[in-house]
Amino acid sequence: MKQSFLIFILSLSLTMPCFSAFGETIQGDSPTNPVTTETIKAPELNAEAAILMDATTGEILYEKNSKSKMYPASITKIMTVLLALEKGNLNDTITFSHDAVYSIEPGSAHIAMQEGEQITLEQALYGILLRSANEVANAVGEYVDGSIPAFAQHMTQRAKELGCESTNFLNANGLFDENHYTTAYDMACIARELLKQEAYQKMMSNTYYEIPPTNKQTETRYLHGQHQMLNPKSIYYYEYATGGKTGYTWEALNTLVTFAKKGDTQLIAVVLKCKGAEHYVDSKTLFEYGFSNFQTVKVFSARDYIKTVNVVETYKNKTTTLGSIQVVPKEDVYKTIATNTTLSDLKIDVNCPETIDAPISEGQEIGTITAKTGKDTITTSFVAQSAVAATSEEARLAQEKESKVKLLKTIGTISLGILLSCLIVFAVTRTIGHLKRKRRKRLRTLRRKKYRR
């Protein structure tokens, strides 16, 4: 009887639609690999939602329910670290408030920071990345925006700027709140932006860090990383993994963001709602699928398309050249293609003006460069490498005054020249006349002497 009941329950569960933690029906379609239309067998994952993204191009290589709302748990801290690096200084001192220390749930991840204790922002970020310390995430949020509510709003707004469509953050650490949610796609976008930070690139692969004694703590804190794909002693170690962030709450289960690099191809894997060690197994499966089937290739290098543009200014129908600037494509352009293919029919179309009107600011977009390969078109902007200001009113008045002075000087010089020329002509004429009169007088004198004889 019990066996029949279990079979009935199992068959019923297989016929029911899947639901996410938010009560939304999860997409029933098979996982996809959008970057190519060729048939490549997609991996089978245990994660309820997942995505594999090329970190360089942003192209999606695999997705499963990637836009279903899910609870992120501590991978939330990727955004916390991103904002800290964008707005802070690694040498700044962070002081822990009462709320930062005591607002976290009992038993949740921490490194025993005390109220009034001080560490640097760099030390705080290691506490977040390696130990997922919730009170440290709180302190970083307060450091950036003054309070956790203000920081949470900042997090959500920054997510929208990055193209995240279904993310809402209510805290800096990812502790459960039913209105604190994201998607696999959104987390990949946030992770991709974090990867652009040079400071994070230097920190991401570290699995050990020490925080020396502080104003409140006499002992050194020894921080060991939790991400097992980075730990050479772990059975889940993955040689190409370079960084990432773990997460877990009872509601979210295991969540994981991982970076991996093989050759010139760098990938981001996000898996959500995994049981046990499924998050490590699924992430490795995604990476092996990605590296086996796709590669990142450079379409063109920005330095090969440096242009010189003249900066001009028109005033009272007169155009003046103020100088010239160099413009360069905003970035090197890359493309994700299948491993067994190459770029085909590559054409580069440069659309950059020879002249442009002032003012020009550094980084301003000026023209575009488009790469066409096969059916794909990739466009990026030329950006100014320096600034050229427009002529100010004060400078213009000074120029006009100087022009008037020059004009008067020129008129004076010309007038003086004319006067001198007239005087010279007059003097020459008088001299010639005098010589002629003198000659005539001499001739008359000679004639008279001749007649007298």
Q: Considering 64, 66, 68, 77, which one is annotated as catalytic?
A: 77
DSSP 65: S
Q: Considering 20, 68, 74, 381, which one is annotated as catalytic?
A: 74
- What are the backbone dihedrals phi and psi of residue 73, each rounded to the nearest 5 degrees, phi first? 60, -140
Judge whether 162 and 257 are in contact, CB under 8 Å.
no
Give the pair of three-digit tokens for residue 229. 């794909």
- What are the backbone dihedrals phi and psi of residue 225, each rounded to the nearest 5 degrees, phi first? -65, 150
Q: Considering 132, 245, 283, 381, which one is annotated as catalytic?
A: 132
Question: Which pairing describes strands 241-249 and 221-224: parallel, antiparallel, or unpaired?
Answer: unpaired
- Residues 144, 81: Cα–Cα separation, whole Å: 10
Does residue 77 have an active-site annotation? yes
Q: Write out the H or E segment, with its range, that includes residue 63.
A: strand 60-64
Q: Write out the H or E segment, with its range, that includes residue 222.
A: strand 221-224
- Residues 54, 40: Cα–Cα separation, whole Å: 17
- Residues 352, 327: Cα–Cα separation, whole Å: 9
The beta-strand segments (E) located in 225-293 are: 241-249, 253-262, 265-274
Question: How many CB atoms within 10 Å of residue 22?
Answer: 12
- Residues 69, 312: Cα–Cα separation, whole Å: 51
Q: Is 54 left (phi over 0), alpha (psi -120 to 50) or beta?
A: beta
DSSP 216: S
Our CA angle for 47, 283, 137, nearest 5°, is 85
Does residue 132 have an active-site annotation? yes
Does residue 30 have an active-site annotation? no
Residues marked as catalytic: 74, 77, 132
